[in-house]
Amino acid sequence: MTVQFTRNVDRRRFLQMAGAAGASGLLPLPGSIRRALAADAAPLASAVIAGKSDKMIVHNAKLGVMETPLDLLRDHPFTPKEILYNRLHFPIDLNGGWVATTAPASTETTRDWTILVSGLVQRPKTIKVSDLAKMDQVKRISVMQCAGNGRSYYWAKGKTAGSGWKHGGMGNLTWEGVPLMPLLKSLELGPDPSVTFLSANGKDVPPVVGGADLIKSYHLAAPQLQNAILALKMNGEPIPTVHGGPVRLIIPGFYGNMNIKWLTDLMLMDRENPSALMQKTYRMPFEPVEPGKFTTQDMTQQNTVPTYGFAIMSVVFAPLAGETVKAGNVDLKGVAWNDGVVPVTEVRVSVDQGRSWIAAEIDSSDGPTAWQHWQTRVALSAGAHEVWVRATDAWGRSQPMDGLTTWNPGGWDWHGVDRVAFQVA
């Protein structure tokens, strides 16, 4: 299936290239295209999703899973669509691959798009995207991050399900749209008194009839939900189709899987949705678990909690692993982020393997749901060095010194202290 899809896409690109080459005669195919055509090569990102940079690391072509290398991610305060990580649950070529592009949805698609608001209510309603566009818009700056970001680091302890993300399964973005909670209220749905959860679903469907759909549920009292929007724009433009355009539920501070793309349904419920992608995966055990001793099938509502808010985390953007910097005063930089509610109050850096820690400066000017840019400067002599970084929030929550302590079968929630080895010359 993967092979089949990859070939089809490559063939289309091949024909386009062949056409271009044909006009001028004998132009050879660029090396990148030749590599994509080689049977065993990982496909280029742009062949999987039109408009993506070929510097992206493709983890799974069939599901459009791709990660941003850190040297690209650090260059932009707001992650451009060309390099934003991507993740889909169902094969990208369903429905003729309509999502496989960073271009916005067509005018017709946007005009005809409706969201059904239903569930335990007296008066179900529909909302048109064209009506949303006429309402007052608000802006949110927030981190989008897969709950599996950093998963590959868990593999030192034991294999998990899912793609091998390093730290590039995230981005920092601006979103514009209509605030969710006031909108729900204005619809005068007449909710049943038992209503406590909101569920959201998107247009994408599982490839097999009866397969688990991606439906996510949120407690209506969750603080992050009060900040949620039905977003129509990302980074100032209509949301790229592959990232959920024309309309996406954005809940600042909640992991990626909770931010439903191509939103079609909002349901007011008295419980979490029973779907497998809500109940059997995307959940974290309350107690530490060991590889082989606890599996996804052991998960219940009692022993696990859904991957809602981000665990507090920080990474180093400079220097990056393997880089060489000049001896003397060395600038150390990076970003931290948290659950979208509790501010990051401290970022500490160590260049002596955790014996002593230096407080870095934190720039929080984009608000608590955005990347918090940290930096500090240390004098370093020539040789091999390591920088470690650890963030703490106003509630005193911090990152485990040993990230492996939160190992879990889904590989979620990696937020161990980042340790980066580099050279000073």
Ligand X SMILES: Nc1nc2c(c(=O)[nH]1)N[C@H]1C(S)=C(S)[C@@H](COP(=O)(O)O)O[C@H]1N2
Among positions 53, 86, 224, 257, the unique one binding Mo ion when judged by CB under 5 A: 257
The interface with ligand X within residues 212-231 (CB under 6 A) comprises 214
Q: Which part of the chain contacts ligand X (CB under 6 A), choosing from 82-90, 304-312, 329-337, 407-415?
A: 82-90
**CA 424 to the chain's CA centroid:** 33
Among positions 64, 244, 256, 409, the unique one binding Mo ion when judged by CB under 5 A: 256
Per CB under 5 A, 144 contacts Mo ion = no
Count of residues interacting with Mo ion (CB under 5 A): 4
Contact string (CB under 6 A) for ligand X, positions 261-290, x = contact: xx----------------------------
Per CB under 6 A, 13 contacts ligand X = no
Minimum distance, C-beta of residue 151 to Mo ion, in the bound complex (Å): 10
Contact string (CB under 5 A) for Mo ion, positions 70-89, x = contact: -----------------x--
Q: Are 287 and 175 in contact (CB under 8 A)?
A: no
Query: Which of 91, 334 has the CB closer to ligand X?
Result: 91
Query: Which of 212, 424 has the CB closer to ligand X?
Result: 212
Q: Which residue is nearest to Mo ion (CB)?
A: 146
Contact string (CB under 6 A) for ligand X, positions 189-208, x = contact: -------------x-x----
Among positions 53, 86, 304, 372, the unique one binding ligand X when judged by CB under 6 A: 86
Q: Which of 403, 406, 334 is nearest to 372 (CA)?
A: 334
Do strands 328-337 and 344-350 pair parallel, antiparallel, or not at all (unpaired)? unpaired
Both tokens assigned to 18: 């062949």
Q: Which part of the chain contacts ligand X (CB under 6 A), choosing from 83-91, 187-195, 293-301, 310-318?
A: 83-91
Minimum distance, C-beta of residue 106 to ligand X, in the bound complex (Å): 18
Q: Which of 104, 109, 99 is nearest to 130 (CA)?
A: 109
Query: Which of 175, 388 has the CB closer to ligand X?
Result: 175
Query: Which of 65, 344 has the CB closer to ligand X?
Result: 65
Q: Are 345 and 392 in contact (CB under 8 A)?
A: yes
Query: Which of 43, 148 has the CB closer to ligand X?
Result: 148
Query: Which of 151, 373 has the CB closer to Mo ion?
Result: 151
Q: Nearest 5°: phi and psi at 143?
A: -80, 135
Query: Which of 296, 364 has the CB closer to Mo ion?
Result: 296
Per CB under 5 A, 319 contacts Mo ion = no
Per CB under 5 A, 411 contacts Mo ion = no
What whole-number distance in Å separates Cα of residue 419 and Cα of residue 402? 10
Other residues' Cβ atoms within 10 Å of the Cβ of residue 384: 8
Per CB under 6 A, 87 contacts ligand X = yes
**Residue given tokens 């150390």 in the structure block:** 332
Among positions 57, 99, 132, 146, the unique one binding Mo ion when judged by CB under 5 A: 146
Binding partner of 294, given Mo ion, ligand X, none, CB within 5-8 angstroms per partner class: none
What whole-number distance in Å separates Cα of residue 423 and Cα of residue 313? 24
Contact string (CB under 6 A) for ligand X, positions 360-389, x = contact: ------------------------------
The interface with ligand X within residues 234-263 (CB under 6 A) comprises 243-244, 256-257, 259-262
Minimum distance, C-beta of residue 204 to ligand X, in the bound complex (Å): 5
The interface with ligand X within residues 135-164 (CB under 6 A) comprises 144, 146
Residues in touch with ligand X (CB under 6 A): 84-89, 144, 146, 202, 204, 214, 243-244, 256-257, 259-262
